[in-house]
Amino acid sequence: MRHGFIKVASASPSLKVGNPEYNKGRIIELMREAEKEGVKILVFPELSITGYTCGDLFFQNSLLSSSQRALSDIREVSKELDLLTFVGYPLKYNGKLYNTLAAIQHGSVLAFFAKRNLPTYGEFYEERWFTPSPLENMLIDYKGEDVVFGSRIILSYSETLKISAEICEDLWVPDPPSTHHAIAGATIVVNASASDELIGKSEYRKNLVSGQSARIIGAYIYSNASEGESTTDMVFTGSNVIAENGTILKSVDYSLNQLVISEIDTEKLDRERYVRNTFPIDEEGYAYITSSFVECETKLTRYIDPHPFVPEDEEKRNERCNKILTLQALGLKKRLQHTGSKKVVLGLSGGLDSTLALLVSVKAFDMLSLDRKGVVAITMPCFGTTKRTRSNAELLALSLGVDFRTVDITESVKVHFKDIGQSLDDYSVTYENGQARERTQVLMDTANKEGALVIGTGDLSELALGWATYNGDHMSMYGVNAGVPKTLVRYLVKYVAETTDNNVESKVLFDILSTPVSPELLPAKNGEISQVTEDIVGPYELHDFFLYHIVRLSFSPSKVYRLALLAFESVFDSETIYKWLRTFIRRFFSQQFKRSCLPDGPKIGTITLSPRSDWRMPSDADSEIWLKELDEEYKLHKK
């Protein structure tokens, strides 16, 4: 369970209605299979020992006695397994019958979770046979042991792993028990269900499971009755769903005698809760039962998205791109209205970031019905500017109908270098930053002259790495790209290229998309870009992965490295990932001083590095423990 991961499974075994002996055999087979797969939590459907559709057979002592023997046999088998198993069981207590879920581990029944909400509508008649869960937990005698019986029960394994349960209809009511379980600390809720299949119901169930997991900021394991149930009036298909905080990790319909397996990240869930200060805590009335698993490494099979900022589905990606562009433009629109400005100034290099900033500026001007000539796009060639990028900048500006200007800064930079004694042959950081600061001076002074706002072009990934010249391109009057990571910038520009009616604009945008990312601060070689950003700081797809998992999820470096190895298994080797993760951590800490004084800019997604909103960090924080942990994880991996 290292890094908070635990392997879980849902299963819908074949069964014979009213035959606990047969059903027990199928349950045990799946328990043993789950053990081999490294599963630690296994959930079976509602009343899986007897079958849900027994009807008035639940009044028969023969059925109840047989189910008792079956549960005892299952409990006996559990002695051999490091597995927490939830089995649906009709519990008779004090002359009443209860629809329960028995939690079994290491040869013991840890608890009987009783169903609270018994449906008596449509095809359901549960109150005919069963009694709702008692309001307060009770201790009952089971095979000479005191076992907690009720619905307010939590099985506690660690600070981040706490498990509770509800049964079928409990999920469908306005105030599900799982909500209270989560408030009492449960990070995982299991649901044993017997929900019959109807047209459209499967998708509705998945939405319920997904939505409830999001609402409780927890994981939800749902196991539904299989086709072995009676078809007298209903049909069951064995739907199984595993969800985590609104995301469905695994879902299988028409499941029969198979394990639906995934891994739940309890560490992630715990983090999400404690940063959400509106998530309440109330443990009143709950029984906490302590148990444990044998410590082991959880082999991960769940999908690790290598591009967490970019939806894989093209339709969803296009929807997100349209939304982001609108949000960026709305942010700038408000700033223009507030300041009364009817002009903006931005540096247009022919690269991706400045292209996106120009597109956003034009969109904001269109929203305000302002003349696009109020958008002043300035290209500022110097030592490293190539013909390709300069040409693209001009063609794009002209196709959009904005005010395009060229200010060659070569001579002014040479004068400045002479003033400070900087050799033109010394390609040091001074050589590079001197150009960036001169460009910013041109933009700021032009803005003063025009009564305009300087639009910042730097993106979220560059801010994370500190890949900006302090008081150079680091500074602006409004940074429209500040909340957009580099991997998403590319798709935003591509979206515009594919959807615009302007053929010239589209052609130029596609050429910009194929141009290497570069600040163009070192002299070109044979007219081509000589300074490729990703050769210096590393691939942005890696850095955006690191950014998401370290900043958004607060994962440790060892966990991020482990996940990156899986996400980029066929793309980057372990040494490459280690090298650039180390670079990311080192730069992220050392460059915080630039983020401590960022200009305003709109928050677009779940991550912003603005010191006024989501990210507050001292500029002199030490990265040593993060780097040390990564180094140790790398050594462990190489063994």
The alpha carbon of 566 is separated from its chain's Cα centroid by a whole number of angstroms, namely 16
Instruction: Please answer whether residues 157 and 188 qualify as being in contact, where contact means their C-beta atoms are separated by less than 8 angstroms.
Output: no
Nearest CA-CA partner of 241 in 273, 201, 202: 202
Instruction: Write the DSSP string, 127-190.
Output: GGT--PPPSS-EEEEETTEEEEEES-EEEE-SSS-EEEEEEGGGGTSSS-HHHHHHHTT-SEEE
Per-residue b/e over 285-308, b at no fewer than 16 CB within 10 Å? ebbebebebeeeebebebebebbb
Instruction: Write the DSSP string, 15-70.
Output: --TT-HHHHHHHHHHHHHHHHHTT-SEEE--TTTTT-GGGGGGGG-HHHHHHHHHH
Catalytic residue flag (residue 46): yes
Catalytic residue flag (residue 54): no
- C-alpha distances in angstroms, 347 versus 14, 413, 456, 492? 67, 16, 8, 19
Instruction: Please answer whether residues 156 and 52 qualify as being in contact, where contact means their C-beta atoms are separated by less than 8 angstroms.
Output: no
Of the candidates 168, 229, 432, 559, the residue annotated as catalytic is 168
- C-alpha distances in angstroms, 571 versus 2, 253, 400, 423? 25, 33, 37, 41
Enter the tokens of residue 190.
Answer: 């299991």
Of the candidates 115, 250, 343, 594, the residue annotated as catalytic is 115
Instruction: Write the DSSP string, 384-403.
Output: T--HHHHHHHHHHHHHHT-E
CA–CA separation, 469 and 196 (whole Å): 62
Backbone CA torsion sign across 63, 67, 68, 69: positive
CA–CA separation, 221 and 10 (whole Å): 7
Enter the tokens of residue 34.
Answer: 């789950």
Catalytic residue flag (residue 449): no
Of the candidates 46, 272, 541, 633, the residue annotated as catalytic is 46
Instruction: Please answer whether residues 356 and 513 qualify as being in contact, where contact means their C-beta atoms are separated by less than 8 angstroms.
Output: no
CA–CA separation, 241 and 252 (whole Å): 7
Q: Give the phi and the psi of residue 368 in degrees, each rounded to 5.
A: -90, 0
- C-alpha distances in angstroms, 490 versus 238, 257, 467, 485, 487? 42, 45, 17, 9, 6
- Residue 517 is given by DSSP the state P
Instruction: Please answer whether residues 87 and 74 qualify as being in contact, where contact means their C-beta atoms are separated by less than 8 angstroms.
Output: yes
Instruction: Please answer whether residues 77 and 40 qualify as being in contact, where contact means their C-beta atoms are separated by less than 8 angstroms.
Output: no
Helices (H), 500-573: 503-513, 533-537, 540-547, 557-567
CA–CA separation, 48 and 568 (whole Å): 41
Q: Under 8 Å CB-to-CB from 430, ≥6 apart: which residues? A: 420, 422
Neighbours of 75 (CB within 10 A): 20
Catalytic sites, residue numbers: 46, 115, 168
